[in-house]
Chain A
Amino acid sequence: GENVEQHPSTLSVQEGDSAVIKCTYSDSASNYFPWYKQELGKGSQLIIDIRSNVGEKKDQRIAVTLNKTAKHFSLHITETQPEDSAVYFCAARPASNYKLTFGKGTLLTVNP
């Protein structure tokens, strides 16, 4: 089955700096890669996703890049704000089913 590795497990940045979280996946058949933000004690919210037919997607301060050859994808947050502080999860899904495999999460702390 799919295996998703996520790094770093914790990330602390100063407000205004950029944050980058990286994930690798094992199943070359995976074709959908979402990123979720989870605030303390709450469910996960989709913040951005990318499909295997594109290499990059951007939505305001958030961008995701995908390297299919290397089987890794990254989340980029620019001009970070304290409200960006949360746990971020990457996930991968193969074309054969709808099951998401999640990374272990990254606790992002943005210091004012």
Chain B
Amino acid sequence: GAVVSQHPSWVICKSGTSVKIECRSLDFQATTMFWYRQFPKQSLMLMATSNEGSKATYEQGVEKDKFLINHASLTLSTLTVTSAHPEDSSFYICSASGQGGGGYTFGSGTRLTVV
């Protein structure tokens, strides 16, 4: 079946630094990528939606200059958390959808801790 590889699975960084999270679709073309954020014991909150080759669409309240999304190819999307702060510590998950918007395949998530 469809697989999305997300890396790293966890990362610890210092305040003020930037962190890049990658999601790769291994056996299908991800025309749309969704990036979610999940706080402990809460649901997945959609941060942004990106279509290959286009600028990402951010949900209300999500700073596009802080959470940079690149979806330059049909198999790779990246989320960069710039100038990270402790409040950015969270679980970030990507989800990819192929052509036609059928199913969604989730990555395994990245636990980001900013110290």
Binary contact readout A96-110 vs B (1 if CB under 8 angstroms, 0 otherwise) = 001111111100000
A36 is contacted by which of B6, B45, B106, B111 (Cβ under 8 Å)? B106
Q: Is A112 among interface residues, defined by CB-CB distance under 8 A? A: no
Chain A interface residues (CB < 8 Å from chain B)? 34, 36, 41-46, 49, 89, 98-105
When A and B form their complex, what is the total count of cross-chain residue pairs whose Cβ atoms lie within 8 Å? 48
Say whether B32 faces chain A, with CB atoms less than 8 Å apart.
Answer: yes
Using A98-B101, A99-B49, A100-B34 as known contacts, say yes or no to A43 and B43 having CB atoms under 8 A apart. Answer: no
Asked if A100 and B46 make an inter-chain contact with CB atoms under 8 angstroms apart, the answer reads yes
B93 touching A44, Cβ below 8 Å: yes
User: Is A43 in contact with B104, judged by CB distance below 8 angstroms?
Assistant: no
Chain B interface, DSSP helix/strand/loop, else mixed: strand
* Residue of A44, A45, A101 ringed by the most chain B CB atoms within 10 A: A44
Q: A42-B109, A43-B109 are in contact. Are A34 and B46 (CB under 8 A)?
A: no
For A45, what are the chain B residues with a Cβ–Cβ distance below 8 Å? 106
CB atoms of A34 and B6 under 8 A apart:
no
Interface hits, B5-50 → A, CB 8 Å: 6, 32, 34, 41-46, 49
